Each structure stands twice: as C-alpha cells, then as structure tokens.
Structure 1
Amino acid sequence: MTGANDVADWWRTRIIDMEPGRIHLRGHPVQDLIGNTGFARMIWLMVVGEDISGPRADLFEAALVSAVDHGPQAPSIAAARMASTCGIGLQSAMATGLNMLGDVHGGAGEQAVTLYRQIEQAGPDGLVPCLDAWREKHGRFVPGFGHRFHKPVDPRAPRLLGLVDEAAKTGAVSGAYATIGRTIEARLAEERGKPVPMNIDGATAVIFAELGCPPPLARGFFGLSRSVGILAHAWEQTEQGGRNKGPTPPSYRWTYEGN
C-alpha cells in the first residue's frame, strides 16, 4: 500500500466497482441486474460472489422466507417493538432488534451447521460420539433441535426438508445434511422418549450446509431473514403508537430480592 494507491488500497473489494455513470456489482452492470435478478439471488451474489439459480436458488429463498418472524415474544422482535415506543426512528428500532441476535437467540443455525459438518466428517458411526462430545463441551442443548412452543413438530422444518429432498433428486444438492438432521432428530427422540423436533434453526442450517455456506454465514443469513420480521413489527408498533412500553403491562411488577 504505497505510492498513488495508498488511499485507494485502504479498502479493497471485489463487490463493487463504480465511477460516474457506471455501477458494477460483482462484475455485473447494475442496470442488467435490476428487473432481472430476484432479491434472494441478489443477496447470494453480493455475499457469496457467484450466481445461484434453479433448485439451489429456490432452497435459499425458502430458507430466508421461513425464518422471518416468530412473534412479539421473540427477544429480537420484542426489543424492536419496545424501542419503537421510545422516540427513536425505525432504523434504530431495527438495529435494537438485530443486536439481540446472539449465540442463544439467532446463533443456533451457525452452531448446527458446524455440528452437521462434524458428523459428516466422522462418518456413519460418528453421530453419537459427535453428539456426546458437543454436549460435553457446550451443554445439554443440541443446536437446531427442540422448541419451547412448537411441539411435537415445528411446521417449518418438514416443509424445508421436503424441498431439500426434491432438490437432491435433481442433483442440485447432495441431501446428506437432510439425512444427518433427521438422524439427529430420531436419536434425540430415542434418548428422551418423546419427540424433540428439528426447529427453524436446524432446518435452515440443513439448507445452508447443503448450499456450502460457512457456518458464520448461516447466522448472517438468519439475521437477514429475521430483519424482515423486525421491520414489520417495528413499523406495526410505530403505527399503533404507545410510549415507553416495557416487556410487561405496568400493573405487573418485578420480584425484589434485596433486604
């Protein structure tokens, strides 16, 4: 980074090239993308750097659609709605919600992709040892499985896995991660004597793994999807009004544990 390029090279990118009257995104003139490329395909092009089409594009879009919202009790949505009553703008309310997506709320997809890949590498007899090692290191929860509300099944998971099955028949994806996900689900049900449903994190992780996404991108794409619900709820709360709404109505009080 010397000479005439010392400033230009401070930020280096393969994403965008432009000059007055010309904008190229990943090498494509923007005017050729507008009206010809759907938003999901555009997301993939921008982030991954290559085009996605056919059943693979359909899977990616299905994953994005499936995770947009889980109601006002989801921490990310609740935070955005509360923020909307505090006198800040819509984008700040969205940022408040997005900042709630962490290792516990929003991070399970990344963790599930990591676990799926470990199981794949371990081979046919490696599932149980991989699960045991994961729980020994991370605790009893297996990422992508179990749901406090949707029992005995998360309605999104079977639909997403069915789409993976259809794509696998065309050769667009291998289907290996769908098999791994189903095998984990069956194993957990056997261990606990009751259904332990694959949840939205586990199902979208199957798709992201099938598409070859690095684990951190699974979290990023989940956050991108959930931002749609965050925007919808923040705007709805803005239209409803309200001032300084907390997590519960004012008539409810907290438990004081001091002297």
Structure 2
Amino acid sequence: MADRAEISPGDWWRTSIIDIEPGKINVRGYPIQDLIGRVDFVSMIWLYLTGELLTPGRRKLLEGTLAGSMDHGPHAPSIAAARMAVSCGLPLNSAVATGAGMLGDIHGGAGQQCMAFLYRLGEMVDERADDADPVISAVRDYMKTESPFIPGFGHRFHPVDPRVPRLYELMDEAKAEGAIDGRYADLARRVEDALAEIKGKRLPMNIDGVSAAVFCEFGLAPELGRGLFVLARSVGVLAHAYEQGGQGHRIKGPMPRHIPYTYEGPAERRLPDAETGTGPGSTKSGSTKSGSTKSGTDV
C-alpha cells in the first residue's frame, strides 16, 4: 500500500458511483438531469448499488419486496426504539438512526443469513444431482454440518406471512417475462417442503425468506440484502417516529408503568451500620416498609 504522503489529493477518496464537478453531477455515468423525472426512486437505488439501469420486470419485484419490508408494528424492536427515542426528546434523524441501529443479526439479519444459506444450498444441490431429492438431502446435511437453524422460515406472529404469497406472484410474473430465471424462488419453496418433512411440521416462509429468494434471483451479495432491508425498514421507522412526536408522550419506556417487571435479585438486606443508625447520613427515625410493584420508571 502506498505511503499516505505519496497519495495525491484526488486519490484520497476513490469512487465509481458519482462524478461531481462545478455544474456537473453524473451518477454511474448518467447526468443527473437526465435521470430526474425519467428514473424512479427504486430504479435509482438499483443504479447506485449495481451501476446498471433496472429493467421493468425487476423494478416491480424490487419495489414490492421493499414495500413488504417497511414495517411490522410498534412491537418490532426497531420501531419501538425509534418511538421511545422521540419520546425522550431526540430529533427525527437521531430517532431513525436509533431504529436502524437495532437491526442486527437477530432482528433484521435473517434475510442476509437466508441469502447466504440459499447460495450455499444451491451449490450443495448441484453436487447431489443424482439424488432422488437433492434438496432434502442438502438441507439435512446443512443442518448437521453447518447450522441446525434455517433462517427465513417460520414466524413468531403470523401462521402464514401475508407478504409471501404476493411476492411469489411477482416472482412468477418476473420469471414468465424472463426478468429472473426462478432458480432461487423454486429452491426456497422446496426448502419449505423439506423442512416440513424433516421437522414433522410446516414452517412457512417469512418476509426474510422470500426477500432472500428475490435478492438471490438478482445475484446480489448477502450484505446488500440486509442493506436493502434496513433501507426499507427505515421508512417505517421514520413514519412511526414522526407519529410518536405528534402524540405528546414524554419518556415512554418499553412497557406501561402499571405492568411490573420480574426482580430476580436478593431479598432486601441492610448494611450493619444502617441497622444501628450509626452510619453517615443516618437518622434515628424509623421507616415504613412498603410493597413494590416494580413498575417501569420515567428516569
């Protein structure tokens, strides 16, 4: 790597995304004035990420996937955190950052993990071309050798995720139009069937699983899959944060104050000098012990 002193000022930041000079803004080579009003927002996202213009068949599918990922109610940690942040006095930008920052490996990362799984499973299935059912064989081996948990399947809230069937309709349309080849869409469906046979119960695909299938059809890196989910969910976070700001509640905690939490520490105990009233700040007057509901606090 070249010494920092040898790097020319123009090479300090290097990018193939945007070219800006006085009176000129080119995005991936396209003048911004040509893009404005001709290329919609979803297509601009694709252009920024891949450097290419989005075809109509893929645009509808990408748009639907982003729309399905925007929100899942105030009980979703990313949404709840943003609403609590606003109630504590944070401005919208900080509240959105708070919500987006909650999207980690467990809450928000399953789509990326499912993409990695589908890509790996595709390789494993190709290696088992002679098996009677290569998908079941590959899923069994994956669960034994790599991870017993398959991300993107099952939902703690929905018996059937209502977003999945519609997105599969869009994938089927895109395949019919030649916008995708359908390999990963079909593979994800077969994983659902394989899990039902292996586990003895059906684990329906969720939004993370169907989004992963879409993004794998596009050939995106798994990291971009999570990035697109964060981008979409940030819209829901923004809407909830703005709504919360108009409701006027202050310092809203994770649960109402009348709902107690569970205390698991030791029973009340006293310092020896507190028993005799000889310690610093002690008083001779007695105190009355009162029960506590261990409710939420405003501080």
Q: Please indicate, yes or no, whether the TM-score normalized by the shorter chain is above 0.5.
A: yes
Q: Which amino acid aligns with 1:253?
A: P
> How far, CA to CA, are the matches of 2:147 and 2:121 in structure 1?
17
Counterpart residue number, 1:174: 181
> How far, CA to CA, are the matches of 1:6 and 1:166 in structure 2?
50
Matches within 5 A, 1:218-257: 218-257=225-264
Secondary structure of the residue aligned to 1:103 is coil
Counterpart residue number, 1:113: 115
Q: Which amino acid aligns with 2:139?
A: L
TM-score by length of 2: 0.82
Secondary structure of the residue aligned to 2:20 is strand
Counterpart residue number, 2:150: 142
Q: Kindly indicate whether residue 84 of structure 2 is the aligned counterpart of residue 82 of structure 1.
A: yes
Instruction: Considering Cα pairs closer than 8 Å and 6+ residues apart, tell me whether 1 or 2 has the greater RCO.
Output: 1
> How far, CA to CA, are the matches of 2:243 and 2:145 in structure 1?
41
Counterpart residue number, 1:44: 46
Counterpart residue number, 1:12: 14
CA contact (8 A) 1:69 1:229 kept: yes
Deviation, structure 1 residue 134: 4.0
Name whichever of 180-189 and 197-206 sits farther off. Answer: 180-189
Q: CA RMSD in A?
A: 1.8
TM-score by length of 1: 0.94
> How far, CA to CA, are the matches of 1:5 and 1:192 in structure 2?
58
> How far, CA to CA, are the matches of 1:241 and 1:138 in structure 2?
49
Which of these residues, 165, 178, 202, is aligned with residue 172 of structure 2? 165
Deviation track 1:129-180 (CA, whole Å, cap 9, x = no partner) reads: 54345434665431110001110x1111111111111111121111111111
Q: 1:98 to 1:13 in 2, by over 3 A?
A: same
CA contact (8 A) 2:188 2:213 kept: yes
Identity of aligned residues (%): 52
Q: 1:70 to 1:51 in 2, by over 3 A?
A: same
CA contact (8 A) 1:118 1:130 kept: no
Counterpart residue number, 2:286: none
User: Could you list the runs of 5+ residues in structure 2 that have no partner in the other structure?
Assistant: 267-299
Q: Kindly indicate whether residue 202 of structure 2 is the aligned counterpart of residue 200 of structure 1.
A: no
The structure whose residues are more often helix, as a share, is: 1
> How far, CA to CA, are the matches of 1:255 and 1:236 in structure 2?
31
How many residue pairs are counted as aligned between the two chains? 258
> How far, CA to CA, are the matches of 1:84 and 1:227 in structure 2?
15
Secondary structure of the residue aligned to 2:75 is coil
Which of these residues, 172, 186, 196, is aligned with residue 193 of structure 2? 186
After superposing on structure 2, the runs of 4+ consecutive aligned residues of structure 1 that deviate more than 6 Å are: 1-5
User: Could you list the runs of 5+ residues in structure 1 that have no partner in the other structure?
Assistant: none
Name whichever of 184-193 and 156-165 sits farther off. Answer: 184-193
